[in-house]
Structure formats: C-alpha cells, structure tokens
Amino acid sequence: MGEETRSETYAELASVGPYGVRPGHALITMVEPHPGHEHAYNRWYEDDHYYAGAMAMPWMYAGRRWVATRDLQLLRRPEKSAVAQPVTAGCYLSTYWITEGRYDDHMRWTVGINKRLGRDGRVHQDRTHVFTAFQDHVATVYRDGAGGPRDFHALDHPYQGLVLEVIDAEGPERRAELLEWLRSHHLPGKLAQSPAAMVVLFRPTPLPGDRMSYVKQVEGVDDRLTLLWFLQSDPRACWPELFAGREAEVAESGLGRVELVAPFVPTVPGTDLYVDQLR
C-alpha cells in the first residue's frame, strides 16, 4: 500500500468550481541567486522546484522561466527603481498562469506544499526574492487582434523575449485611469508594427499571512500595475525604439511613473545556458 492520497476527494473537487483556460491570475517572481550559487540555484529550480513547487499544483496550468544576462540587466531602467535595488538585481524571472476564479484554491495548496518542501529540505535558501507577487489579470492588449496567439497561449508559444514593466499610478485613485489609458490609448499604438505581439496587464494582490518567511509582503497593491510584453524578437533588437523612452512616455500622461523596465530571454530547460553570463 502506498501513502494515503485521498483520491476520492480529488474526484469530488473536480466536479465543482470554474475550470476555464483564461489566465485570471498569475504568479510573477523575479529572483537573484546569491553570488557563487548561480549553478546550484538553476539546477534546483529547473530540476525540482519548477515542477514540485509550481506546475504540479492545482490550477497553475502554464509556466515559463526567463533570464537576464548581464548585458540585458544593464539595459534596465530607471536607475533608481522602487522594485529592484540595485536595478540589476533579479536575473531570473518565472511566470505562471492560474485559472480564473481559482486563486484562493491555489493559494491554500501552495502554502501547504511550500511548508512541506521546506520541512523536507527541498528549498534552496541561497537566493533573494526581488519581486515576487501573485497578480490578478486586468487586461490584455494584442497587436494582431484575433490573428495571433491568445494570452493563455503566451507561456507556451515560442516568444523570443519578455519585458517586465512595473508602473505605479499617481495614487490609488488614479490606477483605473492609468489602466484605461494604457489599454485603450497608449499600448495599441506602441504594439502596431512592432515585434511585441501582446502586453498582458496585472495588478498585484497581497500575499497570505502564512506565506514563506523569506518572501516579503507585496508592495504597491493599491496603485501598481505589472505589464508583461511578449516579444517575437530578442529584446536587444528592439530596445532603443520600443523601450528606451518608457519613463518619459508614461510620465507625459501624468497618470503614473515607470519603476522598472527589465528585458529577459527564455531559458532553455534542462541546460545551464546563460548561467555563466549573469555577472
């Protein structure tokens, strides 16, 4: 006899609740392995944690890892960031989609499994969480209308780059206005004729009180928006024309300020490609 798994409970749970494919929520986590531990961190994350601590969990149905080599880190703006100090911190980024309406169910599981992983010695401690937050989806802006991949495809489609952008509204009462400006006025024009196929927008949610102690509580819950730009080209190829002026473009709106623009390329699962290019 194997370990008790309460299989009958799974059958009961499968018959209730939403089970669509829309990414109603996301986990976006940017992490800095401690110097000298880059290889060990990468192998732990890819060989164990990506699966046992993420993809094997209920309602987390898509995921992808990204990396910023040193030359990509040096493109980041602004120099004084409210998100990353220094702005180059956080060379690995993981992004995950969670089924709409299943945030609470997923959180109950993730807190439980991470406590178990900790007890079993399966948590790599030589790392710092720079920007880790669960997020609620608020909008997706497409370049090609209905002609391209949808946001629920984004973590499986072979995009060549991703840019993480964090924008803080000028106060909580302005966030809805900032979102509407981005969605309806600003982003459609930025995407047109560009290598960026879509921008998926989120707002952060507070982490539960029983979260892991090494993950700090989320900041900017009331006034922050998180944007993920999915690129069909290497971000270095389109950085000057598409992203170098982000701070000024957003500031001119009078609605918010850019606190981070950070480019990444996808990792190659099962390899240590890029590990020696982080410093």
Nearest partner of 106 among 228, 208, 217, 215, judged by Cα: 208
pLDDT of residue 1: 45
Give the pLDDT of residue 215: 64
pLDDT (0 to 100) of residue 206? 86
Query: Tell me: the pLDDT tens digits for 179-218?
Result: 999 999 999 999 999 999 999 999 999 877 665 565 667 7
Condensed to tens digits (0 to 9), the pLDDT of residues 247-276 reads: 999 999 999 999 999 999 999 999 999 999
Q: Give me 25's structure tokens.
A: 């929520």
The pLDDT score that the predictor gives to residue 245 is 96
Helix, strand or coil, per DSSP, at residue 186: helix
Q: Which residues contact 121 (CB under 8 A, 6 or more apart)?
A: none
Q: Give the C-alpha distances (Å, rounded to integers) separating 82 from 85, 216, 260, 278.
A: 7, 14, 8, 22
3-state secondary structure of 106: helix
Which pair of structure tokens corresponds to residue 74? 């040096």
What Cα–Cα distance (Å) separates residue 193 from each residue in 197, 199, 232?
Answer: 9, 14, 12
DSSP string for residues in 62-91: EEEEEE--HHHHTT-B-SS-SSSSSTT---
Q: What is residue 233's predicted lDDT score, i.e. its pLDDT?
A: 98
Give the Cα separation of 144 and 142 in Å (integer). 6
CA distance 118 to 178: 40
What is the pTM assigned to this prediction? 0.96
Report d(CA 139, CA 18) in Å as an integer: 19
State residue 130 phi and psi, 5-degree precision: -85, -40
Residues of the chain with pLDDT under 70: 1-2, 209-216
* DSSP, residue by residue, 28-64: EEEEEEPTT-HHHHHHHIIIIIHIIIIITSTTEEEEE
